[in-house]
Amino acid sequence: MKNKKQLIITTLSLAIIIVSAVLSIRYLQVKPVSTATNTKTTETETYTDKELAKKTLTQNTASQTEKSAIEVPRVEPPAKPLEPTPDSTKQTQVRQAVSNEHIYYPLQTANDPGYASNWAIQKVNAPAAWDISTGNGQTVVAVIDTGFALNHDDLKNNWYLNSGENGNTIAGDNCWTGDPQNKATNSCDDDSNGYIDDYRGWNFSIGDNNPQAGRTNAYGVGVSHGTQTAGLVGAAGNNNTGIATINWNTKIMPLQVLSDDGPGYTSNVVAAVYYAVDNGADVINMSIGGSDYDADLKTATDYAYSHNVVVVAAAGNCGTGTEQGCTGLPAGTMGYPALNDHVISVGATTVSDQRASFSSYGPDLDIVAPGSGTINTTTWTPSNGTSLYTSSLSGTSFSSPQVASLVSLIKSIRPSSSADDITALILATSTKLSVMNGLPYTNEYGHGIINSNAALTVAASLNSISSIPKLLQSGGSVTEHRYASTDNLSSGCNTTIGTYCSIWFRDNSNGRERYLPYTLANQQGLTGWSWNGSFIPSSSWTIKAVQGDNRSNSYFLGVK
């Protein structure tokens, strides 16, 4: 899916520029909003749960009182990662195996206030999707980030709990001592996963079982970032508290890899990815980024893909090249892990459906989601860790978790689907924005903005399909496995009447992927698309008709 780019430093002066870019820490001004004294309008009508959520979505945020912004000074990262504590033999093993430590940062940028409080959830068509599903409470999204407000009112009931480290020990258990003990606090690795007492996630930055925000620096630059992304992934919905996100009922696995001050390292991020996969995550969200190709992290994200765990990552915040942390980088430069193969990379849009100026872009961008303006989500400060919400946020960091939330909602109705199937459902059901001028893909918007209702509609229909689609023509009347960017081409699918089909393209040289929109087959079982050769960059492509995990034989198309 992604072009594996590795930065080559050719001159000393260029090296200095790039190193300074990597070591620059991005910062964010957050306007926290307390709901401790929130006064909501009393409803006299009665509604179903879904109707109530749709009707009160604005009420739950509109009455929040805005406080002054908090600006945190930039800090330099430590010279090397902190040594882990003896609480995790597995984390120590991963750290020793990592070949080179790269630095990662929370992907943030400046505030861009001024939009209606609930515009983001409407833009992604979530209210309509809630008529299909609001989640089943069984999906798990691992959020790999800074620390978390573990006691926040809108999050505390949605944390993932490790069943192997909860409850009391009994005779025959791995850690039985003769008397029942609480597995969460018995200083023993009850489930033998290499982590002691990891009953609710893990703090890879410190090396223990407490991923609480603010433990090392309550005023650090990244201290609230993890709480904000977690809220956009899975704040509890329809609970008369705070906000609703796309999936009301998913579990969040809190994995801290970045310090309160912002930076984190390859070994911590890699260990967290392996932990997420090995401990039951369905989805991984990484609103973090670095500018260098990282072979160890690539191996980890490939491991996730091979286990059908969907990885979603923020594209980056170098849209103009002048943002903090982007000095010396070309405008639009995307970062890692978003550039890794089999990772869904996410850019940011505004309330007017424009690419946010800071949002990174290019031929490796997959999808966009709201990420600039009045993005309401949970947050944390030293004085309020239970009832605080943002009124304004900007960054691809806050677009990525919305996509992860949608992935988990799809998994709630299609639990056995593969990572490839989920990727197709996200990309091939997106809304094509007007600025895309009718094209199925552009470098600035990827496949378009996520459409929650369309994704769930197609996902639900695929559950009853068992037939294998047949790929019809993919090319043009004068092409035979060859194309030019100026050619007008077409593709077709022959399948069961009234079922959805898409066309999947994969670049054989660098892993980029493209999808034509999921479309219903007509009464003859046929559907087709017309497209221009510029839709797929000049390369060699494998093409298949797809319906979920059912895929046709391959066709190959190469550049003239």
Distance CA 218, CA 215 (A): 6
At residue 93, the pLDDT reads 77
Of 42-51, 61-70, 450-459, the range with the highest mean pLDDT is 450-459
Whether the per-residue pLDDT at 60 is higher than 80: the answer is: no
> How many CB atoms are closer than 10 A to CB 6?
10
CATH code of domain 464-559: 2.60.40.1930
Question: How does pLDDT run across 146-183, given as a tens digit for each residue?
Answer: 999 999 999 999 999 999 999 999 999 999 999 999 99
At residue 164, the pLDDT reads 97
How confident is residue 55, by pLDDT bands cut at 50, 70 and 90? very low
* 397 has catalytic annotation: yes
Whether the per-residue pLDDT at 106 is higher than 50: the answer is: yes
From 102, 152, 225, 342, active-site residue:
225
Strand 310-314 and strand 343-349: the pairing is parallel
Distance of alpha carbon 43 from the chain centroid: 35
Distance CA 163, CA 251 (A): 13
Contact between 441 and 534 (Cβ < 8 Å): no
How confident is residue 69, by pLDDT bands cut at 50, 70 and 90? very low
> How many CB atoms are closer than 10 A to CB 254?
26
* Locus of tokens 């197609």: 458
Lowest mean pLDDT among 309-313, 357-361, 474-478: 474-478
Count of all residues that appear for the chain in the document? 560
At residue 231, the pLDDT reads 97
Share of the chain above pLDDT 70, in %: 81
How confident is residue 446, by pLDDT bands cut at 50, 70 and 90? very high
Whether the per-residue pLDDT at 405 is higher than 80: the answer is: yes
From 397, 405, 417, 502, active-site residue:
397
Whether the per-residue pLDDT at 378 is higher than 90: the answer is: yes
Domain range summary for the chain, segments of one domain joined by +: 12-64+101-160+200-432+443-460, 166-197, 464-559
At residue 77, the pLDDT reads 56
At residue 42, the pLDDT reads 28
At residue 194, the pLDDT reads 96
Average pLDDT, stretch 180-200? 97
Instruction: Of 427, 448, 452, give the one whose Cα is nearest residue 368.
Output: 448
Structure tokens at 208: 């223990």
Question: How does pLDDT run across 282-341, given as a tens digit for each residue?
Answer: 999 999 999 999 999 999 999 999 999 999 999 999 999 999 889 899 999 999 999 999
Cis peptide preceding 113, ω within 30 of 0:
no
Distance CA 359, CA 338 (A): 13
Q: Which CATH superfamily is domain 12-64+101-160+200-432+443-460 in?
A: Peptidase S8/S53 domain (3.40.50.200)
At residue 343, the pLDDT reads 98
280 vs 76, higher pLDDT: 280
**Residue 120: helix, strand or coil by DSSP?**
helix
At residue 552, the pLDDT reads 97
Instruction: Of 448, 460, 547, give the one whose Cα is nearest residue 504.
Output: 547
CA distances from 263 to 224, 295, 299, 320 (A): 13, 19, 21, 23
Whether the per-residue pLDDT at 38 is higher than 70: the answer is: no
Whether the per-residue pLDDT at 275 is higher than 80: the answer is: yes
Whether the per-residue pLDDT at 547 is higher than 50: the answer is: yes
Of 47-56, 264-273, 464-473, the range with the highest mean pLDDT is 264-273
From 87, 145, 173, 198, active-site residue:
145
* Locus of tokens 């980890």: 300
At residue 102, the pLDDT reads 78
Distance CA 317, CA 315 (A): 7
Whether the per-residue pLDDT at 222 is higher than 80: the answer is: yes
Whether the per-residue pLDDT at 12 is higher than 80: the answer is: no
Whether the per-residue pLDDT at 413 is higher than 70: the answer is: yes
* 145 has catalytic annotation: yes
Structure tokens at 555: 């066709």
Whether the per-residue pLDDT at 91 is higher than 70: the answer is: yes
At residue 325, the pLDDT reads 85
The amino acid occupying position 157 is N
Whether the per-residue pLDDT at 48 is higher than 70: the answer is: no
117 vs 414, higher pLDDT: 414
Strand 264-265 and strand 103-106: the pairing is antiparallel
Average pLDDT value over all residues in the chain: 85
* 102 has catalytic annotation: no
87 vs 180, higher pLDDT: 180
Average pLDDT, stretch 367-374? 95
Whether the per-residue pLDDT at 270 is higher than 80: the answer is: yes
Instruction: Of 387, 412, 272, 396, give the one whose Cα is nearest residue 344.
Output: 396
* Locus of tokens 């919305």: 402
How confident is residue 139, by pLDDT bands cut at 50, 70 and 90? very high
Of 270-274, 390-394, 509-513, the range with the highest mean pLDDT is 270-274
Treating both helix axes as pointing N-terminal to C-terminal, what angle do 452-462 and 419-427 enclose, rounded to 10 degrees?
Answer: 130
Share of the chain above pLDDT 90, in %: 71
Average pLDDT, stretch 474-500? 85
